[in-house]
Amino acid sequence: MEEKFNIVDISLALLKKWRIILISMFLIAVIFYGHTKLFVAPVYRTNASLYVSNSKSDNSVFQESSEVSLNTLLTSQELLKTCIEILGTDRFYTRVKDVSKLNFSTGYLKSMVRMEQKNETNVLEVSVTAPDPRTAYILIETFLACATDEVEWIVSGGSIKTIDHATYSTTPSSKGATKKGIIGAIIGFIISAAIILLIEFTDSRIKSSSDLAQYGLYILAEVPSVPDEEETSKATA
Averaged pLDDT, 184-203: 90
Pairing of strands 159-164, 123-130: unpaired
Per-residue pLDDT, averaged over 66-89, amounts to 71
138 and 113 Cβ atoms separated by less than 8 Å = no
| pLDDT category of residue 227 using cuts at 50, 70 and 90 | low
CB 1 within 8 A of CB 214: yes
Q: 42-67 pLDDT, tens per residue?
A: 889 999 999 888 765 444 444 444 44
* % of the chain residues with pLDDT over 90: 43
Query: From the CB of residue 180, how many other CB atoms can be counted at a distance below 10 Å?
Result: 19
Residues whose CB is less than 8 angstroms from the CB of residue 149 and which lie 6 or more positions away in sequence, other chains included: none
User: At residue 7, what is the residue type?
Assistant: I
The answer to pTM > 0.75 is: no
If you average pLDDT over residues 107-121, what whole number do you get?
91
Q: Quick one: pLDDT band at residue 9, thresholds 50, 70, 90?
A: confident
Please write the tens of the pLDDT for every residue from 131-149.
Answer: 999 999 999 999 999 998 8
Q: How confident is the model at residue 188 (pLDDT cuts 50, 70, 90)?
A: very high
